[in-house]
Amino acid sequence: MNITVLSGSPRKTSNTLRVAKAIKRISLANGADNVEIIDFNEQDIPFINQGDVDINNLTDFQSRLVNSMNKAHIVYVLTPEYNWFPSAELVNMVHQMGNDDFKSIFDNKVFAFAGISSGRGGRMPAVQLSYVFSKLFNVFSFESVAVSRAFESQFTPKVLDGEGNSLGTLEYDNGLEKFVTYSESIAKRWFRQ
């Protein structure tokens, strides 16, 4: 199974990237064939008032994003929580690439959503993104599914180190493991593996 993890924070060495690395670690331990993290610290998708994304002239980041998502069975969409909202960079990706030109990155996939916070929070942006992606699947008749179990990563720097390794909070570790395992079980049913 191929997995893409979108680390949707524009910040370098973000808490979101810690969770992305933890998901990669767990997925590889569970037997995933390949797990690729796409770090939105490097993103260069223009905002809607700055132009469009040309599928025939992608930048290095855009090409990595498209190629990784094309190959993926599961796409984890991770967002920091900014005052109850997801990152503008992830929302902008949907604005710019949620169309027929980029159908292949959204179609026939399982999407799972997590919100990341340094304190309490994370659920609202994960739920909001799940709703937006589900609406996108509906409007364009993409045969994809949004996993119903969202993950809320609270107090992230206290539970994961910079490389996504556990700092020993059993309740957090169990919750993240269940989220990944549940998402993988949905993908196995979806792809009948």
The three state secondary structure string of the chain is CEEEEEECCCCCCCHHHHHHHHHHHHHHHCCCCEEEEEEHHHCCCCCHHHCCCCCCCCCHHHHHHHHHHHHCCEEEEEEECECCECCHHHHHHHHHHCCHHHHHHHCCCEEEEEEECCCCCCHHHHHHHHHHHHHHHHHHCCCCEECCCCEEECCHHHHECCCCCECCCHHHHHHHHHHHHHHHHHHHHHHCC
Place of tokens 């993890």: 5
pTM strictly above 0.85: yes
Residues 6+ apart with CB under 8 A from 89: 8, 9, 10, 40, 43, 45
Return the amino acid letter for 141.
S
pLDDT of the residue at 193: 57
Backbone angles phi, psi at 168, to 5 degrees: 100, 15
Q: Is the domain covering 2-191 a CATH 3.40.50.360 domain?
A: yes
pLDDT averaged over 10-residue windows placed end to end, the chain, 193 residues = 96 96 98 96 93 95 98 97 89 94 96 94 90 95 94 96 96 97 95 76
pLDDT of the residue at 82: 82
